[in-house]
Amino acid sequence: MKKRKLHLPPAQQETFFLWGPRQTGKSTLLKSTYPDAVWIDLLKAEEFRRYLNKPELLRQELPREGEMPFVVIDEVQKLPALLDEVHWLHENRHVHFALCGSSARKVKRGHANLLGGRAIRYELFGFVAGEFLPGFDLDRFLNHGYLPRIYLSPQPRRLLNAYVANYLKEEIAAESLVRNLPVFSDFLNMAALSDTEPVNFSTIARDCGVSSKTIKEYYQILEDTLLGRWLPSYRKRPKRRVAAAPKFYFSDVGVVNFLAKRGVLEQGGELYGKAFENWCFHELTACNMYSEAFAELSYWRLTSGAEADFIINDMEVAIEAKASQKINAKHLKGLRNLKVDHPSVKRRMIICLEEKSRETDDGIEVVPAKDFVKMLWQGDVFS
């Protein structure tokens, strides 16, 4: 198994939630980290039915005294009522749990017991380039995506087709999250086309034939089921008019490629550039979570069009992602405009496909993707 960058605590040290999109390897990571744990898999129909009818069985089946086992509950979102028993066992018998799931929506919407803040939250992403150092295959990341099974497959499109179909069937239809599944399916395609771009709810609503309110609810479903996340606009102390709409990034670029019918991505194309930006966001977000930097990420864009793709905290680092083998003044325009409006910005970087790192006369770091990955996972980007 590929060694993952997310480090989970020793057994019996913490009770925690482990969230992540489907097929990111959560169960595999838990099994390798806790081989002696008591395992409850709610994907098994018989296991689900037992605890559905009598959640108290969890309390009755674990020891009343003596050394307590470490317990893993997989797909915990399928049975939120079980969390009341988890809470009681944690408080009264000091049992520690790993609670694993691919969707927090049912848990949050049902006002389920989240253990009163006693449980730590971890999140597992798909593969990151830092897990493949010293070398990694950028083209494979951008074409296959980050989900381990699909990344490693020689034929990713078949698996991506099954992944999207299972998402619609098991996450959306089975949980009755939407009334009109065909419309939601159309929305997924439209949302994929606007990946990495500021979201215009009205435009997507018009194309799907529903209200803007419905589209906002659909995006909330994507966020709750961990299929993507928002990147807000940086709007502190603006000197000129800046964009207000947030961007949305899917958690896996392979899913975006499939939904948007992109085909094979090759360097030099516009779609390769969009996939490259998604990958940069993926690496930044995963590193931020795994390293527990807890940095705030945003983007900056003038209404005139100049932008910086990623801002870390309050102008500590500004990053532009450009899938170009030769960076020129046009590529640097956004970061230079940013310096005019925010002279206090501490560091400006452009991530690209050039061969060697260099620095421009006005202090912009031109960083090849391979060097960016090393810097990021060695702790040289987040303070």
Query: Which pLDDT belongs to residue 65?
Result: 84
DSSP helix/strand/coil, 226: coil
Q: What is the pTM of this model?
A: 0.94
pLDDT at 143: 97
Q: How far, in Å, CA of 308 to CA of 212, rounded?
A: 28
Cβ-contact 15, 90 below 8 angstroms: yes
Cα separation, 275 vs 141, whole angstroms: 9
Q: What is the pLDDT of residue 66?
A: 82
Q: Which backbone phi and psi does 288 adopt, to 5 degrees?
A: -60, -45
For 311, the token pair is 């801002």
Please report which helix (H) or strand (E) contains residue 253, including its range.
Answer: helix 253-259
Q: Residue 107 has what pLDDT?
A: 65
For the chain, 383 residues long, give each residue's pLDDT as a single digit of tens. Answer: 689 999 999 998 899 999 999 999 999 999 999 999 999 999 999 999 999 999 999 999 999 888 889 999 999 988 988 999 999 999 999 999 999 998 877 666 544 556 666 678 999 999 999 999 988 999 999 999 999 999 999 999 999 999 999 898 888 887 677 888 999 999 999 999 999 999 999 999 999 999 999 999 999 999 998 999 999 999 887 778 888 899 999 999 999 999 999 999 999 999 999 999 999 999 999 999 999 999 999 999 998 888 999 999 999 999 999 999 999 999 999 999 999 999 999 999 999 999 999 999 999 999 999 999 999 999 999 97
Four-CA torsion 254, 260, 264, 266, nearest 10 degrees: -90
CATH homologous superfamily, domain 16-123: P-loop containing nucleotide triphosphate hydrolases (3.40.50.300)
Backbone angles phi, psi at 134, to 5 degrees: -80, -15
In the structure, how many helices (H) and strands (E) does the chain have?
A: 15, 13
User: Domain map of the chain by residue range?
Assistant: 16-123, 129-377
CA dihedral (196, 199, 200, 204) in degrees, to 10, reads: 80
Cα separation, 316 vs 347, in Å, equals: 6
In contact, 258 and 157? CB cutoff 8 Å: yes
pLDDT at 108: 62
Q: Which DSSP string do the residues of 20-86 spell out, in sequence order?
A: --TTSSHHHHHHHH-TTSEEEETTSHHHHHHHHH-TTHHHHHS-SSSSPPEEEEETGGG-TTHHHHH
Peptide bond into 134 cis (omega under 30): yes
User: At 344, is the secondary structure helix, strand, or coil?
Assistant: coil
Give the angle subtended at the CA of 227 by the CAs of 48 and 334, to the nearest 5°. 165
> How big is the chain by its Cα radius of gyration, in Å?
22
CA angle, residues 100, 159, 35, in degrees to nearest 5: 35
pLDDT at position 111: 42
Residues paired with residue 359 on neighbouring β-strands, in sequence order: 365
Whole-number Å distance between alpha carbons of 166 and 29: 22
